[in-house]
Amino acid sequence: MKQTARRRGPEAGFYSLGRFECVDLRAIMGVVSRKAARTGGFLEENDVKKLEEYLFPQGFEPWSDGSLAGVRRRVTMTKGALLGDVAKYYADDYIVWRHGGEADRDRLLRTWRPERDVMVHRFVLLEGEPRPGRLRRTRGFLLGLRGFIEVYRYTPSGRRHRGIEDLVFLIEKALAQNDT
């Protein structure tokens, strides 16, 4: 009789936290799909539709990059003075519901490149359940003179970093909508 080895990876609902191996019960019990648990995303199709319906009129547009998918917007900030506008720069906000967790966070911090006149790129990676660790990771381009990238983890109705309060408000409002 041929024995098959039991799969012990994220695709089987298991993941590792240092020396400890944990079970993702949400995936095993079918609360979320195994693929969603494996990729770090937790949103079901109706939650994604709620986010899209609410965020598109708020100035967001669809966005994807490799294994990342979500929405983005560009906010224009203008510094005015007596003689008119002195400076104009942008802030890019990304709300990402499909991602690979820590691996994608590290890839973003390592490979993201600055853009002209964009002061900050804020990424909010939506997660299914809170995990230990830092909620925010940042990196400056050319000592901050070319801008910054900030990557936040957020679990709806969970802990939040004060740097994304405006985006958290939009996310919570979108997910609270009734199915109509």
Asked whether residue 180 is domain-assigned, the answer is no
Residue 156, classed as helix, strand or coil, is coil
0.85 exceeded by the pTM?
no
Please tell me whether residues 105 and 88 are part of one structural domain: yes
43/48: higher pLDDT: 48
Pair (56, 99) in one structural domain? yes
Q: Are residues 5 and 88 in the same domain?
A: no
Question: Hey, what long-range contacts does 163-168 have (CB within 8 A, 24 or more apart)?
Answer: 163/122, 163/136, 164/122, 164/124, 167/93, 167/95, 167/122, 167/124, 168/124
Residues 116 and 164 in one domain: yes
**Is residue 15 located within the same domain as residue 104?**
no
Q: CA-CA distance, 47 to 50, in Å (whole number)?
A: 5
Mean pLDDT across 70-98 = 91
For the stretch 164-175, pLDDT in tens is 999 999 999 998
Longest alpha-carbon distance in the chain: 85
Q: pLDDT digits over 13-30, tens only?
A: 444 333 333 333 333 333
Task: Note down the domain range covering 33.
Answer: 1-38
Tell whether 10 and 47 lie within a shared domain: no
pLDDT tens profile 125-165: 988 777 777 888 888 888 767 789 999 999 887 888 888 99
Whether 63 and 79 map to the same domain: the answer is: yes
Instruction: Compute how many other C-beta atoms are within 10 angstroms of the C-beta atom of residue 102.
Output: 14
Q: Do residues 8 and 46 both lie within one domain? A: no
Number of domains the chain contains: 2
Asked if 50 and 33 sit in the same domain, the reply is: no
